[in-house]
Amino acid sequence: MEKLQIFFKKHKLVLNTDKTNFVQFKTVQNKNQIEPEIFFSSCVIERKMSTNFLGLKIDQHLSWDEHVSKVVSKINAGIYALNKMSFYCNLNTLKTIYFAYIHSHISFGICLYGATKKSNMDKILKQQKRAVRIMLNLKHDESAKHHFANLKIFTVYGQYIFETILIAKQACESQKTELFKPIHPYNTRNKSELASSQHRLKFFEKKPTYIGVKFLQYIPKKIKLVKNPVKFKKELKEHLISRAIYSMDDFFRSSGYNAK
């Protein structure tokens, strides 16, 4: 905090302590009850259980419950607009409204908050189904699954898998992390497959790079071997959208892998 004070003074900046807070991150299992007190220029910095940061609602356990509630609330506003405009607009215009007022909120930060629990992701998926039914004037109980592919719209699960795979692919190509390494040095057909690093906490598996590697293993080999980044992104997007993924199990099962 002393270094921060020096930095602010040097750059002629003033910290508004009334709008400043901190979050103590910890796992749910952590029983450590230490309550730190933080001061800045004799002012007490407020501790919060969650805070807004760059458009994300971050809680102390990184469960993303509050952020998902925030996203769902924004989606509801978008669905209201979509429903009103469905009486006057054609499908192309309705899709534009969907991407502007619904999907933009879903995709923002999905590589992070997509690691939340299944019930949270299902809340978003449920609202996506409502939006699809409105755009196509379907009955409330009619299945929307195959319509996602027809409309070329990601489900929330598909968007999460897509974003994390891109992050893992980029990190793999940059070779700047030990997370990515060949399974073995022998000249076999699986030599080029990637192995994930060992870890102690289950929480580690929420990292975009970690889960991205896992997803990367279960996409078609012909897509994995594409070298051109633009072409890889295009083919991956088409592949995932065409499958209209409704859950992580849905993705792994259809890839010949039984998720635990």
For the stretch 153-203, pLDDT in tens is 999 999 999 999 999 988 877 765 444 455 545 555 554 455 555 666 677
pLDDT, greater one: 164 or 209: 164
**What is the structure's pLDDT at 260?**
40
Distances (CA, A) of 27 to 1, 21, 89, 202, 220: 25, 20, 48, 10, 35
Stated length of the chain: 260
> 114: which 2 tokens?
């997509």
Rounded Cα distance, 199 and 74, in Å: 36
> 37: which 2 tokens?
């007190």
Confidence of residue 34 (pLDDT cuts 50, 70, 90): confident
**What is the structure's pLDDT at 149?**
94
**What is the structure's pLDDT at 195?**
53
DSSP code at position 183:
S
**What is the structure's pLDDT at 33?**
74
**What is the structure's pLDDT at 200?**
62
Q: What is the mean pLDDT of residues 1-6?
A: 86
Q: What is the mean pLDDT of residues 44-72?
A: 92
Confidence of residue 258 (pLDDT cuts 50, 70, 90): very low
Residue 259: is its pLDDT beyond 50?
no
Rounded Cα distance, 232 and 248, in Å: 21
DSSP code at position 152:
T
For the stretch 83-92, pLDDT in tens is 999 999 999 9
Q: What percent of the chain has pLDDT over 90?
A: 57
pLDDT, greater one: 36 or 125: 125
Q: Please name the residues in contact with 171: beta carbons below 8 A apart, sequence gap of 6 or more.
A: 177, 179, 180, 209, 212
According to DSSP H, which parts of the chain are helical? 2-10, 65-85, 91-98, 104-107, 110-113, 118-136, 145-151, 156-174, 208-216, 221-224, 229-243, 248-253
Distances (CA, A) of 210 to 167, 204, 257: 10, 8, 17
For the stretch 126-155, pLDDT in tens is 999 999 999 999 998 889 999 999 999 999
Q: What is the mean pLDDT of residues 57-64?
A: 90
Q: What is the mean pLDDT of residues 62-71?
A: 94
Instruction: Indicate the average pLDDT of the chain.
Output: 86
Query: Taking the model in full, what pTM does it have?
Result: 0.83
In which element (H, E) is residue 182 found?
strand 181-182
